[in-house]
Structure 1
Amino acid sequence: MAPWKAKCLSFMARLTLTKSVAASLPVYNMQTEMIPNKVGKNIDKMNRDFIWGDEPDKSKMHLVAWEKMTTPKCQGGVGLRPTRLPNLAMLAKGGWRLMQEKDTLWTQVMQAKYGRQRQGLSLLCPVQGSSFTWTSFSKAIPILENRCVWNIKNGRSTKFWNDPWVLQVPLRDMALDEILMELEEATVADFAHEDGSWRTELFSDLCQGPTLGRAALSTQVSLEH
């Protein structure tokens, strides 16, 4: 950023240059890699120093806090993006595509190598020997968990006890007793009749809590899909 000579540009020119060029340079890498915290902080510092006109041998006072500068314009900020947030957003988008785009070559290669026949968000969990890219996608799991809902359809690919398809946690974590080993891998379809109604006798003893029971029974299974 030194060749731009911050002292020769106005504040608005430095701000515009930072938003359109400097903050956009790492975008290519951020789509598939989690940038280390230290690197991200160094990028933010360089952008911050350039905006306020710092020179190698002379620092200037930063009149507005960085947190305020990175606030969206609609909330009173100037719309700068800290490195960490767009990095996580792009990894979340890549992770979502990895789960949804079954027919693309890159997802087929990645899933065959690291997916281990897993479904849903568990697909993104790192395994032994995972590449840095796959491990980076796993960093976005909390974002996807808070923004995704389960679409059960026929229920054959959703684990009844081990997937968080009703609440934010798997049902096994709220069960009132031990889950039989033969039922641990049972799917939602295994607990439903052909007309989509529940076979409550199979799980009613373990799901008697008011919140758990109402949540499970209010979820419908559509067997025609």
Structure 2
Amino acid sequence: MQSLMIPEGICEEIERLVRKKLALVNWDSGCQPRSSGGLRFHCLEDHNKSFLMKLGFNLVPNDNALWVRVLHSKYGMNEQLPESISRSLMKW
């Protein structure tokens, strides 16, 4: 989840399994911040996008880090971000 884009359907299926019990609060309202009356649950899709954005933003300033060099050599990333990361950044 922290390095690959999880399809929206998979996130929805996982959340459906989590919500299987009788709920006293709507899931969408539970995902709101506490200041808005929510319970601060996190939607998996939003959480996945934030992980990918963090990874994308850490790729740029850390050119000499070992993990960045491994990603560059493994995926042939010369000057561009991997497709899964760039797609999630474009949606935001």
What TM bracket, shorter-length normalisation? 0.7 to 0.9
Alignment of 1:4-83 (within 5 A): 30-50=1-21, 52=22, 62-83=23-44
Superimposed CA distance per residue, residues 62-96 of structure 1 (whole angstroms, 9 cap, x where no aligned partner): 44322101111111101111110010000000111
Q: Which runs of 4+ in 1 moved over 3 A?
A: none
Pair 1:115 & 2:92 matched: no
Give, in angstroms, the shift of residue 140 of structure 1: 2.7
Give, in angstroms, the shift of residue 97 of structure 1: 1.1
Superimposed CA distance per residue, residues 2-58 of structure 1 (whole angstroms, 9 cap, x where no aligned partner): xxxxxxxxxxxxxxxxxxxxxxxxxxxx110111111100111111123x2xxxxxx
Give, in angstroms, the shift of residue 139 of structure 1: 2.4
Instruction: For 1:142, give the aligned amino acid.
Output: M
User: Which one scores higher on RCO, CA 8 angstroms, separation ≥ 6?
Assistant: 2
Pair 1:142 & 2:90 matched: yes
- Give me the whole-angstrom Cα distance separating, in 2, the residues matched to 1:95 and 1:114: 15
- TM-score calculated relative to the size of structure 2: 0.83
Residue 46 of structure 2: which of 85, 90, 101 is its match? 85
- Give me the whole-angstrom Cα distance separating, in 2, the residues matched to 1:108 and 1:34: 21
Alignment correspondent of 1:106:
67
Give identity over the alignment, percent: 26
User: How many residues align structurally?
Assistant: 91
Q: Which has the larger radius of gyration?
A: 1
Instruction: For 1:49, give the aligned amino acid.
Output: K
Alignment correspondent of 1:214:
none
Match of 1:84, SS state, is: helix
- Give me the whole-angstrom Cα distance separating, in 2, the residues matched to 1:94 and 1:88: 10
Cα contact 1:95–1:140 (8 A) shared by 2: no
- Give me the whole-angstrom Cα distance separating, in 1, the residues matched to 2:13 and 2:52: 20
Superimposed CA distance per residue, residues 121-176 of structure 1 (whole angstroms, 9 cap, x where no aligned partner): xx21xxxxxxxxx3322223236xx7xxxxxxxxxxxxxxxxxxxxxxxxxxxxxx
Alignment correspondent of 1:191:
none
Cα contact 2:5–2:88 (8 A) shared by 1: no
Larger fraction in helix: 2
Cα contact 2:32–2:40 (8 A) shared by 1: yes
Match of 2:69, SS state, is: helix
Cα contact 1:88–1:139 (8 A) shared by 2: no
